[in-house]
Amino acid sequence: MSLGVEKKIFKEFFEENECIMRLNYYPPFQKPELTLGTGPHYDPTSLTILHKDCVGGLQVFYGNEWRFINTNSNTFVFNIGDTFMVSEFMH
């Protein structure tokens, strides 16, 4: 695979694991500066799908700083989670 690990690593991982599904909804608020989201975190899943809403606020930590992700209302963001960072621990 392109991650530098054998296919069997992921096959074995996904065969025995359970499925997790989490839905977060952040309704519009009149004072966005007072709102709280999920806060800084890592996605410990294999795939996260985010749909842009009217609230916004998605950021990524890149280059030692938090950067906003600008998208439009027709956008889905697909994040590959920490599961695929396995190559760091397999070498």
**Higher pLDDT among residues 91 and 13, named by residue:** 13
Backbone φ, ψ for residue 62 (5° rounding) = -145, 135
Mean pLDDT over the full length of the chain: 74
Q: Is 60 exceeded by the pLDDT of residue 89?
A: no
* pLDDT recorded at residue 60: 82
Ranked by mean pLDDT, the top range of 30-39, 48-57, 65-74 is 65-74
| Global confidence as pTM | 0.57
Strands (E), 1-91: 47-51, 59-62, 65-68, 76-80
